[in-house]
């Protein structure tokens, strides 16, 4: 997936995307269990153990638990959320494979070679890689995503510093050049890309190198500004994964048939059907044996499906975290960067820190999520064991410290009503946005508001209630002035690099925070010096410490995801670094038991 932008995830749903961190990133595909990292005794297998013979012409029925319709942006350059990504998984495949540490390997559809001295990356396609319509995947298809994302009329949100780092990209984006000078088609299967600077994220799947191809032969007749709404993206996407999308019912379901041209063998199933499923119906659907697997299964109801006969729960730590974000500015579309406002309502970091110290998120993880979530400490999840700084304790419940921070900063209760005024003695009301969905969305948000009242802060819901997923992110992207603080979640992708989420040029930086020091620390992570492992580890630690102190975003929960799999399913390995499980999964019976 795209580097740090694995997609958006709902607060109470579990992202299946790389997108992005979860717990113990060093487990190999051979391991058969995964500690959930929460401190409880729950352990989960990572792969199925069914060894019965697979049946011919088997069909797999899958669901995605969601309280919102999927948008249907089935193109890597345009998709934004975890739901679309989940539906893309059987059909859309990256160019590169990766190991359990998310480092790119050369076992996929293409290989990657970096030349640090020449500042180039060379991508070479295998000879037998074809699109689902039978056309060859070519160098032109590898180059085309750069021409889409860098185009002045691009409507997506992935044009960021990783693309600006390509020689000639900024000239192309401004319209002053018709081509990207730093990208060269060497031959029909080989592309060379020249960069301004090399950095170790280029070694990570979804990192500094765009890891996808786009079918130029189907899309080149569509204006870039119209691609997002085109049939080629929404109704008839051409892909090179093991299956292709044969029938899409907008917002509801997708059917997949085997891609007879798949480069890595013949897909074994006759058909896959994937449907959206309301989270409230997920457990009953398992009891009724309606599906073989349900992705993004809500962890707040884990105890209701923990022991359902005929299913085995696979589990793994996620490359994601829940967080509180503080609105500190707006997005400047003309400049393509955040515009930080030092006079915004939440600009005083003591106020932000105090709100963090008012919460007991370990208790939240145990009470609301059966121990499947635990207190988040930094903005780099612990699944990235080489980069997560476990010396940072994060924000834990400490009401005395929270009150002192507010007192010292000048937020006093002037009129004696138990509610603090701002530093000028004026009424202070903080507007809080949080998503609806799942059984604990409301009680969890209520708990946060209750705790903030304990330290004298008047926090009210934006719109007076929780907000539906799509509407919530529309408001964040458009910098709704009625949002001062919000609760959301990120799937970081398979590269922990914070540039795409928290950099000054990142559209995903919804807090709109920037500073010279933040940019300096992120630039260190992106520097050529960071190819030195010790330098890189220290650079990540320095940025995590800075983010903790500034508290522009406060991680609240590290997350684990659970995937119920029916016992008739065979050859499904959910480990990070395992080969694409969609290419191998089979069933051993005509019906679910």
| Residue 28: predicted pLDDT | 24
User: Alpha-carbon distance 226 to 394, whole Å?
Assistant: 44
**How high does pLDDT run on average in the chain?**
91
Q: For 432-444, what is each residue's pLDDT tens digit?
A: 999 998 789 999 9
499 phi and psi, to 5 degrees?
-55, -45
User: Alpha-carbon distance 346 to 337, whole Å?
Assistant: 20
DSSP annotation of 383 reads T
Average pLDDT value for residue range 449-471: 97
Query: Could you give the angle at which helices 349-357 and 399-409 cross, rounded to 10 degrees?
Result: 160
Q: Which helix (H) or strand (E) holds 227?
A: helix 224-227
User: Alpha-carbon distance 497 to 200, whole Å?
Assistant: 9
Q: Which helix (H) or strand (E) holds 201?
A: none
Output the CA–CA distances (angstroms, integers) from residue 313 to 37, 105, 295, 321, 527, in the order listed. 16, 29, 11, 21, 41
Q: Centre a 10 Å sphere on the Cβ of residue 53 and count the other Cβ atoms it contains.
A: 9
Check: CB of residue 57 under 8 Å from CB of residue 270. Answer: yes
User: Alpha-carbon distance 558 to 563, whole Å?
Assistant: 17
How many residues are there in the chain?
593
User: Alpha-carbon distance 299 to 315, whole Å?
Assistant: 11
Q: Name the least confident of 16-25, 127-136, 162-171, 313-322.
A: 16-25
pLDDT exceeds cutoff 90 at 206? no
Domain boundaries, the chain: 318-416+470-560
| Residue 8: predicted pLDDT | 31
Q: For 310-348, what is each residue's pLDDT tens digit?
A: 999 999 999 999 999 999 999 999 999 999 999 999 999
8 phi and psi, to 5 degrees?
-90, 150
| Residue 34: predicted pLDDT | 35
pLDDT exceeds cutoff 80 at 29? no
Three-state SS for 478-495 is: CCCCCCCEEEEEEECCCC
User: Alpha-carbon distance 267 to 582, whole Å?
Assistant: 8
| Residue 32: predicted pLDDT | 30
Q: For 548-580, what is each residue's pLDDT tens digit?
A: 999 999 999 999 999 999 999 999 999 999 999
531 phi and psi, to 5 degrees?
-65, -20
pLDDT exceeds cutoff 90 at 24? no
pLDDT exceeds cutoff 80 at 302? yes
| Residue 41: predicted pLDDT | 52
429 phi and psi, to 5 degrees?
-120, 125
Question: Helices (DSSP H) in 358-456: which residue ranges?
Answer: 361-369, 399-409, 441-454
pLDDT exceeds cutoff 90 at 12? no
**Confidence band of 532 (pLDDT split at 50, 70, 90):** very high
pLDDT exceeds cutoff 50 at 282? yes
Cβ contacts of 466 within 8 Å, gap of 6 or more: 434, 435, 436, 441, 442, 445
Cβ contacts of 117 within 8 Å, gap of 6 or more: none
The pair of three-digit structure tokens given for residue 31, joined into one six-digit string: 């391991």
Percent of the chain predicted with pLDDT > 90: 88
pLDDT exceeds cutoff 80 at 535? yes
| Residue 42: predicted pLDDT | 63
Average pLDDT value for residue range 378-405: 96
| Residue 181: predicted pLDDT | 98
Q: Name the least confident of 7-21, 114-128, 351-365, 512-526.
A: 7-21
Percent of the chain predicted with pLDDT > 70: 93
User: Alpha-carbon distance 217 to 137, whole Å?
Assistant: 10
Check: CB of residue 371 under 8 Å from CB of residue 39. Answer: yes
Check: CB of residue 561 under 8 Å from CB of residue 22. Answer: yes
| Residue 11: predicted pLDDT | 31
pLDDT exceeds cutoff 70 at 273? yes
DSSP annotation of 457 reads -
The pair of three-digit structure tokens given for residue 546, joined into one six-digit string: 């800075």
Homologous superfamily in CATH for domain 318-416+470-560: Dipeptide-binding Protein; Domain 3 (3.10.105.10)
**Confidence band of 356 (pLDDT split at 50, 70, 90):** very high
Q: Centre a 10 Å sphere on the Cβ of residue 313 and count the other Cβ atoms it contains.
A: 17
The pair of three-digit structure tokens given for residue 212, joined into one six-digit string: 């996808």
**Confidence band of 489 (pLDDT split at 50, 70, 90):** very high
**Confidence band of 10 (pLDDT split at 50, 70, 90):** very low
pLDDT exceeds cutoff 90 at 309? yes
């Amino acid at each position: 997936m795209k580097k740090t932008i694995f997609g958006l995830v709902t607060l109470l749903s579990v992202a299946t995307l790389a997108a992005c961190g979860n717990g113990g990133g060093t487990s190999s595909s051979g391991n058969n269990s995964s500690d959930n990292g929460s401190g409880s005794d729950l352990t989960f297998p990572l792969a199925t153990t069914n060894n019965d013979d697979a049946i011919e012409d088997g069909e797999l029925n899958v669901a995605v638990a969601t309280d919102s319709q999927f948008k249907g942006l089935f193109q890597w350059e345009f998709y934004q959320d975890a739901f679309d990504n989940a539906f893309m998984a059987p059909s859309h495949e990256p160019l590169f494979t990766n190991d359990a540490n998310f480092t790119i390997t050369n076992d996929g559809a293409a290989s990657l070679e970096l030349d640090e001295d020449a500042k180039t990356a060379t991508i070479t396609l295998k000879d037998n890689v074809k699109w689902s319509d039978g056309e060859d995947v070519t160098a032109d298809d590898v180059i085309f995503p750069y021409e889409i994302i860098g185009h002045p009329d691009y409507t997506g949100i992935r044009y960021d510093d990783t693309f600006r780092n390509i020689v000639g990209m900024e000239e192309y984006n401004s319209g002053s050049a018709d081509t990207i000078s730093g990208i060269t088609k060497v031959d029909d299967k080989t592309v060379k890309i020249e960069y301004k600077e090399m950095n170790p994220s280029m070694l990570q799947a979804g990192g500094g190198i765009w890891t996808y191809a786009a079918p130029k032969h189907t899309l080149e007749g569509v204006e870039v500004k119209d691609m997002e709404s085109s049939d080629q993206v929404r109704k008839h996407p051409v892909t090179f994964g093991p299956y292709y999308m044969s029938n899409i019912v907008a917002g509801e379901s997708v059917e997949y048939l085997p891609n007879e041209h798949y480069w890595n063998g013949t897909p074994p199933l006759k058909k896959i059907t994937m449907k959206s499923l309301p989270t409230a119906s997920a457990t009953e659907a398992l009891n009724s044996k309606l599906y073989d697997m349900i992705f993004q299964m809500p962890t707040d109801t884990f105890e209701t499906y923990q022991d359902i006969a005929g299913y085995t729960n696979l589990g793994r730590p996620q490359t994601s975290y829940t967080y509180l974000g503080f609105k500190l500015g707006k997005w400047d579309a003309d400049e393509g960067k955040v515009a930080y406002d030092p006079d915004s309502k939440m600009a005083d970091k003591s106020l932000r820190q105090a709100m963090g110290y008012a919460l007991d998120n370990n208790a939240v993880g145990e009470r609301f999520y059966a121990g499947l979530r635990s207190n988040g400490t930094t903005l780099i999840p612990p699944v990235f064991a080489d980069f997560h700084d476990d010396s940072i304790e994060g924000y834990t419940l400490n009401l005395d410290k929270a009150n002192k921070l507010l007192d010292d900063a000048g937020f006093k209760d002037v009129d004696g009503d138990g509610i603090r005024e701002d530093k000028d003695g004026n009424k202070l009301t903080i507007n809080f946005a949080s998503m609806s969905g799942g059984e604990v969305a409301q009680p969890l948000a209520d708990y946060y508001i209750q705790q903030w009242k304990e330290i004298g802060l008047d926090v009210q819901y934006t719109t007076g209630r929780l907000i539906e997923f799509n509407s919530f992110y529309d408001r964040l992207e458009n910098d709704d002035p009625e949002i001062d603080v919000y609760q959301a979640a990120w799937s970081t992708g398979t590269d922990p690099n914070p540039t795409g989420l928290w950099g000054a040029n990142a559209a995903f930086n919804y807090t709109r925070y920037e500073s010279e020091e933040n940019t300096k620390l992120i630039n260190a992570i992106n520097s050529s010096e960071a190819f030195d492992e010790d330098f890189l580890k220290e650079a990540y630690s320095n940025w995590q410490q800075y983010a903790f102190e500034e508290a522009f975003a406060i991680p609240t929960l590290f997350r684990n995801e659970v995937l119920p799999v029916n016992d008739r399913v065979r050859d499904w390995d959910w480990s990070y670094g395992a080969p694409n499980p969609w290419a191998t999964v089979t069933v051993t019976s005509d019906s679910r038991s």
